[in-house]
C-alpha cells in the first residue's frame, strides 16, 4: 500500500480496516472458518493491530466474524439451519420493502425495474449465471432503496451479509437461475403494477423457494 494513502490512527484507521475486511468477506475472498490474524491484517491494510482488533469486534457484532476465546477471530460459519432462519426474517422485511416500493417508487424508478427484468432474462438466456447473480442483488437493493424504509434496509443489509457463502453456492447451482428468474419477474410485475399486496406475496413466494433450495 502506498504510505501516502494509508489512513491515520484511531477511528479513521478502524473504519478503513472495517471497510476492507467487510468487502473481502462479502466478495468471498475470505471464506467461512478462515482465521483472521491481527498482525497479518494490520500489515496488509497498513493500520495498527489495535485498529484491526476494533474492526473485528464491529464485524462480530454484524455477524460476519466469530471471536473465539484465546484463539482469535475467524470468518463466521453460517449453518444451513441458520441460513433458513435468516431467510425467514428476510421474507418479512423484503416483503415490506416491496409493498412500500409499489406505492412509493417514482415512474422513472419503476422503468428501471422493468429494464432490470429484461437484463436478468437476457443473462439467464445467455447462461451468464454470475451476471444474473449480480443483477439479482441489484434488484433486491433497488427495492430496499425505493421503499424508503431505511430501518428495514439497514437490517436487511446485515442479514444479506451473513448469507454471502450460501448466496454464492446457490448462484452456481445448475438450473437455479431458470427457477428463480420467473419469481423475480413476478416481483417486478407486482411492484410496477403498484400492487403492494401482490408485491409482498411475490417476495414471500420467491424466498420460500430459496429456503427449499437451501435445504436441498
Q: What is the pLDDT of residues 16-66, one digit of tens each?
A: 888 888 888 877 788 788 898 989 998 888 888 999 999 899 988 888 888
- The domain 3-75 having CATH identifier 3.40.50.300: the answer here is no
Task: Identify which has the larger pLDDT, 138 or 16.
Answer: 138
199 vs 76: which has the higher pLDDT: 199
- Are 46 and 60 contacting, i.e. CB atoms less than 8 angstroms apart? no
SS3 79: coil
| pLDDT recorded at residue 130 | 86
pLDDT classification of 186: cutoffs 50, 70, 90: very high
Statement: residue 3 has pLDDT above 60:
no
Q: How far apart are CA 167 and CA 207, in angstroms?
A: 12
* 15/165 Cα distance (integer angstroms): 24
Give CB contacts under 8 A, 24+ apart, made by 79-85.
Answer: 80/166, 80/214, 80/215, 82/162, 83/163, 83/166, 83/214, 84/211, 84/214, 84/215
Mean pLDDT of 104-116: 98
User: Where along the chain do its domains lie?
Assistant: 3-75, 80-215
Asked if pLDDT for residue 110 goes beyond 70, the answer is yes
pTM listed for this prediction: 0.77
Rounded to a whole number, what is the largest CA-CA distance in the chain? 55
Write down the CATH superfamily of domain 80-215: GntR ligand-binding domain-like (1.20.120.530)
Which pLDDT belongs to residue 8?
55
- In this predicted structure, the answer to whether residue 114 has a pLDDT above a threshold of 70 is yes
Res. 85: pLDDT tops 60: yes
pLDDT recorded at residue 76: 84
Mean of the per-residue pLDDT values of the chain: 89
Amino acid at each position: 500500500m502506498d504510505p501516502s494513502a494509508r489512513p491515520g490512527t484511531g477511528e479513521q484507521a478502524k473504519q478503513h480496516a472495517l471497510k476492507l475486511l467487510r468487502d473481502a468477506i462479502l466478495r468471498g475472498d475470505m471464506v467461512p472458518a478462515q482465521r483472521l490474524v491481527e498482525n497479518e491484517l494490520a500489515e496488509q491494510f497498513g493500520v495498527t493491530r489495535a485498529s484491526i482488533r476494533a474492526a473485528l469486534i464491529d464485524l462480530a457484532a454484524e455477524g460476519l466474524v466469530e471471536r473465539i476465546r484465546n484463539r482469535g477471530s475467524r470468518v463466521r460459519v453460517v449453518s444451513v439451519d441458520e441460513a433458513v432462519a435468516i431467510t425467514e426474517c428476510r421474507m418479512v422485511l423484503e416483503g415490506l420493502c416491496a409493498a412500500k416500493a409499489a406505492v412509493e417508487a417514482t415512474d422513472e424508478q419503476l422503468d428501471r425495474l422493468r429494464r432490470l427484468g429484461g437484463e436478468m432474462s437476457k443473462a439467464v438466456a445467455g447462461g451468464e449465471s454470475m451476471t444474473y447473480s449480480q443483477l439479482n442483488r441489484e434488484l433486491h437493493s433497488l427495492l430496499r432503496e425505493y421503499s424508503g424504509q431505511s430501518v428495514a434496509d439497514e437490517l436487511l443489509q446485515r442479514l444479506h451479509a451473513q448469507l454471502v457463502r450460501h448466496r454464492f453456492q446457490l448462484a452456481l447451482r445448475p438450473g437455479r437461475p431458470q427457477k428463480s428468474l420467473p419469481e423475480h419477474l413476478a416481483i417486478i410485475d407486482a411492484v410496477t403494477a403498484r400492487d403492494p399486496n401482490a408485491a409482498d406475496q411475490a417476495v414471500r413466494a420467491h424466498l420460500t423457494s430459496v429456503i427449499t433450495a437451501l435445504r436441498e
